[in-house]
A and B are shown apart, each in its own frame.
Chain A
Amino acid sequence: MTSKELDCRVFVETDRPLEDVARLLAQSCDGHVSGSHRSRTVRTVLGEIDVRLNEESDSRRVVEFPDGFLFFRYALEVYPSPAVAHEERVAFTANMLRALWSSGSAAVAVSDYEPELPHRGGYKSPSVPWPSPRFASEKEPVATNR
């Protein structure tokens, strides 16, 4: 059983397919993946992460710093189990962010505990991956460290 309340949303920009993002998260938190091709749920002992396409994804706006995160390709929703303590929730999200950043993905966390996360969740941080400017071709943006 998980909380009905959204604990944290993480916007992610990467050229990896949704399935790969879900698998990466599952590996980072010892979870397993279920769901259809347009959305996946990663189930762990601490809660669930819905991995979904961001309905407002806009490949031209993702490069805008710092607010382009609103248009990243994926939107993850974190729903912890009710008994999970605040510190564990923060550690869970922090672990997820580190896994995403380590893979070269741009990721920004949206939550009430952003100040407790590494790089304050990534928003406005010059130290985490960010999508590079799009070329004149239709090539998808690629996350790079700035």
Chain B
Amino acid sequence: MEPPNGLPQGLTEQQFAVISAKVRDAAAHLAGHAQIHGSRASGTATADSDLDIAILVPPQHFGEIWREKFGAPNPGSAKFRTMQHAYETGKIQCGEAGLRALRKELESDLGIAVDISIIEEGGPFDQGPYLPLIGHTTEGTADDQQRT
């Protein structure tokens, strides 16, 4: 089930266009495909629901980002366990992903909580339904399409 208008539930087309552009700009360095998922993509959101944004990346690229973001924590530490958990679940959370500034900006724009994660394609958290950002298809950005 998806929102009938193709927009994240509760967002206007203008809001979606604005946040789509901001996410594309701020997350371009991650070279992933940003999508809306969760309850606002499935049409099951309540007023309290956050807006979930997944930046989907292929497994090999996920591994590269994972190593870069977590570094080399001491084995046996909580950070090491958190790093393992991120690998097991195929999900790097917003803080570790370095996307806090984007999250705060989107929350300020929309007045709702926003969560942004880097998700490994095919991993446990790669679960639709998804809504692609405006100007962003599941095969890449509109610019990507024009280049090919």
A in complex with B: yes
Q: Is B78 close to A, CB under 8 A?
A: yes
Q: Is the CB of A4 within 8 A of B81?
A: no
Q: Is the CB of B107 within 8 A of A39?
A: yes
Look across to chain A and name the residue whose beta carbon is closest to the beta carbon of B89.
A56
Q: Is A13 close to B, CB under 8 A?
A: no
Q: Is the CB of B78 within 8 A of A121?
A: yes
Residues of B within 8 A of A38 (CB): 48, 50, 112-113
By secondary structure, the A interface counts as mixed
Q: Is A69 close to B, CB under 8 A?
A: yes
A67 to B89 alpha-carbon distance, docked (Å): 14
Interface centre among B78, B95, B117 (most CB of A within 10 A): B78
Residues of B within 8 A of A114 (CB): 74, 77-79
Q: Is the CB of A110 within 8 A of B74?
A: no
How many residue pairs link A and B with beta carbons under 8 A? The number is 63
Residues of A within 8 A of B101 (CB): 4
Q: Assuming the A-B contacts A6-B95, A9-B95, A109-B78, are A77 and B71 also in contact, with contact meaning beta carbons closer than 8 angstroms in the complex?
A: no
Residues of A within 8 A of B78 (CB): 69, 108-110, 114, 121-123
Q: Is A5 close to B, CB under 8 A?
A: yes
Q: Is the CB of A77 within 8 A of B81?
A: no
Q: Assuming the A-B contacts A36-B113, A39-B113, A55-B115, are A112 and B79 also in contact, with contact meaning beta carbons closer than 8 angstroms in the complex?
A: yes
Q: Is the CB of A5 within 8 A of B98?
A: yes
Some 20 contacts from A to B, beta carbons below 8 A apart, are A6-B98, A6-B100, A9-B96, A36-B112, A38-B112, A39-B107, A39-B113, A52-B113, A53-B113, A70-B82, A77-B95, A108-B78, A111-B79, A112-B79, A114-B79, A115-B74, A115-B77, A120-B77, A123-B77, A123-B78
